Structure 1
Amino acid sequence: MAVKQIPLEPVLVTIRPLSLSMHEIQVELQFPPGAVEGEAVLALPAWTPGSYLVRDYARFLDRLEVSDGAGQPVPCRKLDKQRWRVEGSPRGLRVVYRLFCNDLTVRTNHVDALHAHLVGAATFLYLEDQPQRPFEVRFEGWPKGWRVATSLPRREGSYLAEDHDTLVDSPFELGTFRVHTFRSRGCEFQVAVTGPHPGDEARIVEATEAIVGAAARIFGGFPFRRYLFLLTFSPKLRGGLEHRDCTSLIADPQQMERTEGYYDLFTLIAHEFFHVWNVKRMRDTVLGPFDYRAENPTRLLWFHEGFTSFMQFDLVMKAGVVPWSWVSRKLAASWTDNTTRAGRLEQSLEEASFDAWIRHYKPTEFSPNSTVSYYDMGAMAGWMMDAELRLATGGAKGLDGLFALLWERHGDGHLTDADVRRAFHDLSGKDPQPFWSAHIQGRAPLDASSIEKAYGIRLNARAPWETLSGPDADDPDALRRARAWAGLVLQGGAPVVHNVVPGSPAARAGLGYGMEILAVDGWRTATAQEVQNRLGDAGPGDQVRILAAERGRVETFPLTLAENPQRTISITADLKATPVQKSAFQAWTGQPFPARRA
């Protein structure tokens, strides 16, 4: 006879503002009698799922006080950067602390006089040995007229989380945000918009509805009854963080003055929403349940993030909210970067995934020469895989079919690299090892042949002098300048070396990170543009003398210019594309095959 589990009493949480102008809040936790009868450890996560960086949220926590049910102080001793040992009390425990909240991102807490955005990992202490204990969260003392948006269910003024994982995965937005609601396939969707912007919110909501509809067609519906989009507008910010039943988004309001600003926002929405399936439900074994104390490295971020970065374009095109002409420029720019970035020769997608915690999220000047992005390079690998699948299925199925098959087989559960390989094999009939060896585990160059063959498009590589137009296209001086190359990357507008391409003339000359270029061939260079202009006075094979300063010393560096090896990719339609290719293109994009240029 099975023993019936007695539900655990919840932790009662009350969050109050201390000073909105100073970005301070107070969090009070009431642990019920019997929850902590002996010694226990209170902990705060060091990171938040979806953002693979140890952020040490405990640095924002102070004034920690612990008392028992009668209000008597209870001894509390800090064990390390994020854990405290407390003595038990049969009468329950009251834990109170202050949080400083002044970092406006989707991964951190921000509170001011206009709104509050609270991230679970950065906010709630929990009993380390009782992650399954539920929480009830309520808010007191906030400005009149403010309301709360969260994916958690509400009961009698409190918001209920069935366990700590759920609480961490459910951000809160407080303020006077605007709420838009729509329904799709029997599910309720809400878009809570914070902050002013010059855009059309009805257009944003309409596009969001089309995007979720495109995703539902891939997966056959939704794995929830309610979903929440938290969208905050703030100048010069952009970002998104996926959660199981919601997502947090930040966008620059000034971008909404331009049509392309809408396209960028719609693509961000599509990316985060696709994570409903890819990583929040179908996930590597280490990505839930989580170890919140330290890094949780995975070799599958190329799949979870990179392939999602490809599918974001799939969704917005099939939803009809972004045209192929815009997507093609984004794909071309990414292909250009990932065929010229020196790091492509040094790091595989598996390696980039595993080292995300210490390399992708902690970049240095050396990063372009030693790493790839599992987002961007992963998206390009996803594009190639989509093409391979289209070729094998007569254009009918691509990466969307791969995800549909994986969802059918695994649903809400763990996924392995072997599972992805098996799905690829079963759809394509091909051995997955050659593709994995070259583009997932290996460092083979990107190969456009399958893409061109599948969709009837061309990826054209052009040298800098081939991109000149008008009178410059036939001007010998302009052509010489376009051919000259030093391999120097300067930082912003200042004549400071941000990077030196390995094996380039600048590298052979001895130039390095952080040097300030004072003069080229005797000409003073006060800006980055002046450095490039003076280098262009010479041509490939010519020697120039560079005067540079480093750590207070000035030296001269002879540098022999070379012909520029960089190539820029553009995408065009093949005027000889076959009906099968055109059909595959439409199956991928949901849009007509381009008449001339892609």
Structure 2
Amino acid sequence: MGRSMTPIRATLRPLDLAQHLFEVELALPAEAVAEGAVAALPAWTPGSYLVRDYARFVDRVRGEDATGREEPLEKLDKQRWRIPPAKRGLTLRYRVYGNDLTVRTNHLDASHAQIIPAATFLYLEGQLARPIEVRFQGFPKAWKVATALPEGTAGYLAKDFDTLVDSPFELGTFRARKFTAGGTTFELVFTGEHNGDEDRMAEATRKIVASAGAIFGGFPFKRYVFFLTFTPRVRGGLEHRDCTSLIADSHGFDRPEGYYGLYQLIAHEFFHAWNVKRLHDPALGPFDYSRENPTRMLWFHEGLTSYMEHVIVLRAGVVPWSHTAKELAKCWSEQVQRPGRLEQSLEEASWDAWIRFYKQHEFSPNSSISYYDKGEMVAWLMDAAIREGSRGKAGLPDLFALLWARHGERGLTDADVRRAYRELSGRNPALFWNAYISGRVELDGASLVRAFGLRMEARAPWEALSPEDQKDPQLLRRTRAWTGLVLGPGPSATVQNVIPGSPAATAGLSFGMEILAVDGWRTATPGEAQRLLSAPGPGGRVRVLAADRGRILEVEVPVAESPERTHRLVTETRANAAQRATFAAAYGQPFPRAAARRGRATA
């Protein structure tokens, strides 16, 4: 039935580019609506696990019969309309507002149009297999169209709605690059002004593509498009089967780190062409676009991809180890100190992504984790465990290669991942899973030392002071002080978080309170408040005047010694040949030269 289905013909026209408005016309064939139908707009887009209610951007939904006469539509709920029987077919028209430049929402103005299909196209319930042809009319003549969909005589053809949702469009006067690798054509579409070098970006992308493809022995597509959009102070990416949408800061390329961050983003989203778009939990496709589609495996699909982005860019030679080491150490520091690490497992974080990760509140740091960041650290430990268990013969990339060869696009379960882990490491997966994936055991870096010759070195805040500053007893006392108050970045001293069990929590301070004064001194800024809170040093006490919803309260807060630590990743000076070889095999770079050791080391 699917191949013989008459396609829906979709036409998009600008209504007012300055007002970010466009019209969608859907010509529904008679066979699709002869008995009536229900048209619906997705509530979310795959890869971004939050119900976004795209219908809030849609209005003026109306139907016309073959003679142009308006047919009344019944709105059933926030995103569904009942279509009456139409023996000769029906045309739907509606207006869409798009003024949110992210990788998951529509945006159009006088310079370009980014069309996200999930936020744009209605589908017919029970007919997701019906093809859709998309064409554009009335846009500026100088504009071009870029998409991963093939272009036919009647427009761009999606074989079904799932394919359409996975195929964003970019319209405008974008710049384009193209290269081939492994029999596949890769295209880069650059939109927006920036201070970077596009030739440099394109060459790095070519190396990233080769690095990722080598893991799987080639590419599962003949054409792939990278959409790179640049706008100030925004960063993001969203994977699709045959393309990816990326947004980067327009002004981020005045330093090498700006390029490194972009390359990591490119590697992350490109790796998703395998991990999640093809090799995925069956819960993540085919989709129910009307509601949440929960899975307990986002730690695998996102967390392990977050680690693999480092592996790919290092092997590609486009990011130096020194930068990656800082990134890994920063993430480690955050994960071993986030209070929520003791409250939520990776499996739980994956399942609750729809209601917790994308809908954070003040208490979230204390009750939840990120399956991206915690998953990245656990992936690192998993890589180390596989390499240690296999005596350097295999690692996490080999796990993905094995899963791809064995399962491809046929669906992947947690049991499949465990089985592959056991085969490669020779270890019981239950021990690792019970600790780090279904459990909440503290991260242990001992395996990083044994496998790679890498060690996390922890430093207290006062240990980071220069030798000269450490001679100042007043500065040293303030640096050691801690109350557990986290103040927001705004102009006033407003409480953003209170660490559970901290002196501030015991004293009764809470989220949203404004610190007005400490020990009788006015605190107009967060910096002033923190300086006064730390003045007595560990063992001291401060009187805090705070405002809570208009009411004033005064509390006494004890000052403790800071438990906060920062980490840096150092190499073992006595790393043996096996550790050095494992590092080189894992990251495609020689074992780094050991740096001078400082502070207190933790495994």
Q: Which residue of 2 aligns with 1:523?
A: 521
Please, which of 110, 113, 116 is the counterpart of residue 113 of structure 1?
A: 110
Does the alignment pair 1:428 with 2:425?
yes
Cα deviation for residue 553 of structure 1 reads 1.1
Distance in structure 2 (CA, Å) of the matches to 1:6 and 1:342: 53
- Contact residue 169 and residue 243 of structure 1 kept, 8 A: yes
Supply the AA of the counterpart residue of 2:578.
V
With structure 1 as the length reference, what TM-score do the two structures score?
A: 0.98
Please, which of 512, 520, 531 is the counterpart of residue 533 of structure 1?
A: 531
Distance in structure 2 (CA, Å) of the matches to 1:565 and 1:503: 12
- Contact residue 34 and residue 89 of structure 1 kept, 8 A: no
Please, which of 314, 327, 332 is the counterpart of residue 317 of structure 1?
A: 314
Q: For 1:93-242, list aligned pairs within 5 A.
A: 93-156=90-153, 158-242=155-239
Q: Deviations over 1:242-272 (max 9, x none)?
A: 0000000000011111110000000000000
Q: Which residue of 1 aligns with 2:376?
A: 379
Q: Which residue of 1 aligns with 2:599?
A: none
Cα deviation for residue 473 of structure 1 reads 2.4
Supply the AA of the counterpart residue of 1:536.
S
Does the alignment pair 1:402 with 2:405?
no
Paired residue secondary structure (2:30): coil
Distance in structure 1 (CA, Å) of the matches to 2:276 and 2:153: 33
- Contact residue 63 and residue 73 of structure 2 kept, 8 A: yes
Q: Which residue of 2 aligns with 1:290?
A: 287
- Contact residue 53 and residue 357 of structure 1 kept, 8 A: yes
Deviates more, 1:139-148 or 1:150-159: 150-159
- Contact residue 105 and residue 119 of structure 2 kept, 8 A: yes
Distance in structure 1 (CA, Å) of the matches to 2:185 and 2:205: 13
Cα deviation for residue 392 of structure 1 reads 1.5
Q: Which residue of 2 aligns with 1:548?
A: 546
Q: Which residue of 1 aligns with 2:601?
A: none
Q: Which residue of 1 aligns with 2:484?
A: 487
Distance in structure 2 (CA, Å) of the matches to 1:327 and 1:178: 30
Does the alignment pair 1:85 with 2:82?
yes
Cα deviation for residue 396 of structure 1 reads 3.0
- Contact residue 70 and residue 91 of structure 1 kept, 8 A: no
Q: For 1:389-538, list aligned pairs within 5 A.
A: 389-493=386-490, 494-538=492-536
Distance in structure 2 (CA, Å) of the matches to 1:75 and 1:553: 55
Supply the AA of the counterpart residue of 2:66.
G
Q: For 1:31-42, list aligned pairs within 5 A.
A: 31-42=28-39
Please, which of 230, 248, 252 is the counterpart of residue 251 of structure 1?
A: 248
Supply the AA of the counterpart residue of 2:532.
R
- Contact residue 518 and residue 526 of structure 1 kept, 8 A: yes
Deviates more, 1:459-468 or 1:343-352: 459-468
- Contact residue 62 and residue 72 of structure 2 kept, 8 A: no
Please, which of 573, 595, 598 is the counterpart of residue 597 of structure 1?
A: 595
Cα deviation for residue 536 of structure 1 reads 2.0
Q: Deviations over 1:456-477 (max 9, x none)?
A: 1111111111111141123222
1:203–1:516 Cα change, 3 Å: same
Q: Which residue of 1 aligns with 2:362?
A: 365
Q: Deviations over 1:349-381 (max 9, x none)?
A: 000000000000000000000000000000000
Paired residue secondary structure (1:63): strand
Distance in structure 2 (CA, Å) of the matches to 1:311 and 1:457: 17
Cα deviation for residue 568 of structure 1 reads 1.1
Supply the AA of the counterpart residue of 1:430.
R
Paired residue secondary structure (1:443): coil
Distance in structure 2 (CA, Å) of the matches to 1:301 and 1:6: 33
Q: Which residue of 2 aligns with 1:566?
A: 564
Distance in structure 2 (CA, Å) of the matches to 1:6 and 1:364: 47
- Contact residue 128 and residue 161 of structure 2 kept, 8 A: yes
Q: Deviations over 1:125-169 (max 9, x none)?
A: 111111100000000000011000000000125100000100011
- Contact residue 387 and residue 393 of structure 2 kept, 8 A: yes
Deviates more, 1:567-576 or 1:297-306: 567-576
Unaligned runs of 5+ in 2: 597-603
Q: Give 4+ residue runs of structure 1 displaced > 3 Å after superposition.
A: none
Supply the AA of the counterpart residue of 1:483.
R
Paired residue secondary structure (1:48): coil
- Contact residue 7 and residue 130 of structure 2 kept, 8 A: yes
Q: Deviations over 1:257-304 (max 9, x none)?
A: 111000000000000000000000011111000000000010000000
Q: Which residue of 2 aligns with 1:17?
A: 14
- Contact residue 571 and residue 597 of structure 1 kept, 8 A: no
**Aligned pair count?**
595
Cα deviation for residue 70 of structure 1 reads 1.9
Paired residue secondary structure (1:260): helix
Distance in structure 1 (CA, Å) of the matches to 2:2 and 2:8: 18
Q: Deviations over 1:509-554 (max 9, x none)?
A: 1100000001111111111011111122111111110111111111
Unaligned runs of 5+ in 1: none
Distance in structure 1 (CA, Å) of the matches to 2:261 and 2:489: 23
Q: Which residue of 2 aligns with 1:341?
A: 338
Paired residue secondary structure (1:597): coil
Q: Deviations over 1:301-327 (max 9, x none)?
A: 000000000001010100000011000
Supply the AA of the counterpart residue of 1:412.
E
Q: Deviations over 1:544-575 (max 9, x none)?
A: 10111111111111011011111111111111
Cα deviation for residue 415 of structure 1 reads 0.5
Cα deviation for residue 198 of structure 1 reads 1.1
1:67–1:588 Cα change, 3 Å: same
Distance in structure 1 (CA, Å) of the matches to 2:125 and 2:253: 44
Distance in structure 2 (CA, Å) of the matches to 1:405 and 1:88: 51
Cα deviation for residue 75 of structure 1 reads 2.5
